[in-house]
Structure 1
């Protein structure tokens, strides 16, 4: 007997980003406010990172609040509601609960239930990972509109005395609505990972554990005090800065060139460059190596917002569009890279 053929949804020709929204932490923290514990200066931070302030959210603002704020902004710009969404993807490494997913909580809050919703753990490349998956879902005919959110409340990870990464970090969320299109607005993604370099950026279980194990500090004098201190501490991040810098500069230019080639374009066709907002020195070095046109517009949201990991690329995009530095129809190269180590790059047409 002949087996029946399984039905498949009707694929669509292409996808595009319909709108981008954002929400930043409500407090701008200048360099002068954080230099004491790290024995630094405003001049040192500005010269080495390009950061003047970083946006941070108050204790009353959760990572979910940031994600919902960005989602609502993007949906309003797209003239859609949560009920129009076929899927909700949230990239984050600062949603502490393993389950339920942050995506499911956000989907319920914005009225997207029963759309499928799931989290992506790809750190600073997470937004580009989400765009790649949304593009595939839409083109396969599985969903007409997909919401992609990159969100972090990095201040929940900060050890004020850490000189490796904490002084870089800010809070925020960026969101994009990916929808069907007759012409391609999202080119193929070039992405990957290298877990062999996982110790370049890593998470300690708590500040207390880090100070015990790596700083050689003594244990609290009583078990009761140890329990109390441990309960007050949260996971924190560390990085090997020189290792990360060398990896990005030696590896990411080739990933960027491959992404542009996958789009069938040349570097001279790129109007806007949207790198992960890791460090202004990294951005400047990538610019030199990639040899864009002299008039290329560059995302530099890090100067005022700080490094927001998965949120950094959509927030940089949102700022450029809002301030009129980039415009609808511009061709942008976006590239994310970070803990994992993971990376992803794609060329997109700006909404």
Structure 2
């Protein structure tokens, strides 16, 4: 244990996407769908699909290695590794332990978080709390999912939605509570009574099945009615008005949901991330992946306040305002 710091900040962000791009036109040759149907309902044009031998840990390692390099720290400086994922095929060891091994990170605390598509926001909050409490000095936070392993490629309502990828951040202590690169307080919670609306690997009448299923109507109505007030509370907790946000990066589930949350929030100046158009829904990877791309493109700058907001199976949600590295 070290002495608790004044606050926490993100040093760097990075992402990884598989090389294969699956377009709507290609999907139309695989299942009863069309480019117009997918774009009008979800807003997706393409998604990246990992190769059969490219694992969640592989993608997480690639994103993490880039984030560590950009942060200018050594692997030995990392004392905590948290991976948010819901698609690890093997139960043990954790994906975090595999990433630590791959990157030769010695003796770090390692564990995985499963909060589905809100996973990165949960993991980032957990890492920030660990650093703020003195239990860690430099943490590696990763969101990575390979949804393609768990899709029913004959179900046009779900297989068209998802892509694969990973995003990573390096989080460290800061001596100033007003540091320009801070991680704000998290606002998180759930509506577990509706948790059955999204499942993966539940037991049905035909026995165990490891396939993604969702009641899209339930999820859509929940997202449109419940999420904007939570996002607003995250801004209030950080002392940042929605109109002051430089960007809004929600979970990349659906363009209509993204637009509705941003509009109801009143983020009038903000760039709204819509990486779902070219990447699909990448589950726990979607928030860091989208923010990393905004930084790379120059659409947000160092010190800019950005709302990160994840939501997904459970039904869970988590939001925090961060300052860009």
- Report the TM-score range of the alignment, normalised by the length of the smaller protein: over 0.9
Matched residues in 2 for 1:25 and 1:12: separation?
37
Cα-Cα RMSD: 1.6
Aligned length, in residue pairs: 321
Matched residues in 2 for 1:265 and 1:284: separation?
20
Cα deviation for residue 341 of structure 1 reads 1.1
Alignment deviations for residues 290-315 of structure 1 (CA, whole Å, 9 cap, x no partner): 1112x311111111111000000000
TM-score (ref. length: structure 1): 0.88
Matched residues in 2 for 1:164 and 1:113: separation?
44
Partner of 2:322: helix, strand, or coil?
strand
Residue 2 of structure 2 contacts residue 136 of structure 2 at CA under 8 Å; is this kept in 1? Answer: no
Stretches of structure 1 that go unaligned for 5 or more consecutive residues are 1-7, 214-229
Matched residues in 1 for 2:184 and 2:68: separation?
23
Is 1:339 aligned to residue 313 of structure 2?
A: yes
Matched residues in 1 for 2:138 and 2:157: separation?
39
Cα deviation for residue 83 of structure 1 reads 1.0
Alignment deviations for residues 149-201 of structure 1 (CA, whole Å, 9 cap, x no partner): 00001111111111332211000000000011123401110001222111110
Question: Which residue of 36, 47, 60 maps to 2:40?
Answer: 47
Is 1:186 aligned to residue 173 of structure 2?
A: no
Is 1:265 aligned to residue 258 of structure 2?
A: no
Cα deviation for residue 288 of structure 1 reads 2.0
Question: More deviation in 284-293 or 66-75?
Answer: 284-293
Aligned 1:148-297 pairs, distance under 5 A: 148-181=141-174, 182=176, 183-184=178-179, 185-204=182-201, 212=206, 235-293=210-268, 295-297=269-271
Partner of 1:97: helix, strand, or coil?
coil
Residue 164 of structure 1 contacts residue 238 of structure 1 at CA under 8 Å; is this kept in 2? Answer: no
Is 1:127 aligned to residue 120 of structure 2?
A: yes
Q: Which residue of 2 aligns with 1:227?
A: none
Matched residues in 2 for 1:81 and 1:154: separation?
31
Stretches of structure 2 that go unaligned for 5 or more consecutive residues are none
Cα deviation for residue 35 of structure 1 reads 2.1
Alignment deviations for residues 326-351 of structure 1 (CA, whole Å, 9 cap, x no partner): 11111000100001111100000011
Runs of 4+ in structure 1 off by over 6 angstroms are none
Cα deviation for residue 284 of structure 1 reads 1.1
Question: Which residue of 13, 18, 24 maps to 2:17?
Answer: 24
Matched residues in 2 for 1:117 and 1:337: separation?
23
Residue 329 of structure 1 contacts residue 350 of structure 1 at CA under 8 Å; is this kept in 2? Answer: yes
Partner of 1:168: helix, strand, or coil?
coil
Residue 11 of structure 1 contacts residue 141 of structure 1 at CA under 8 Å; is this kept in 2? Answer: yes
Cα deviation for residue 205 of structure 1 reads 5.2
TM-score (ref. length: structure 2): 0.95
Matched residues in 2 for 1:178 and 1:307: separation?
24
Matched residues in 1 for 2:38 and 2:85: separation?
26
Residue 271 of structure 1 contacts residue 330 of structure 1 at CA under 8 Å; is this kept in 2? Answer: yes
Matched residues in 1 for 2:299 and 2:94: separation?
35
Is 1:34 aligned to residue 20 of structure 2?
A: no
Matched residues in 2 for 1:86 and 1:129: separation?
18
Residue 152 of structure 2 contacts residue 158 of structure 2 at CA under 8 Å; is this kept in 1? Answer: no
Matched residues in 2 for 1:296 and 1:265: separation?
12
Matched residues in 2 for 1:151 and 1:75: separation?
16
Q: Which residue of 2 aligns with 1:60?
A: 53
Residue 81 of structure 1 contacts residue 111 of structure 1 at CA under 8 Å; is this kept in 2? Answer: no
Larger radius of gyration: 1
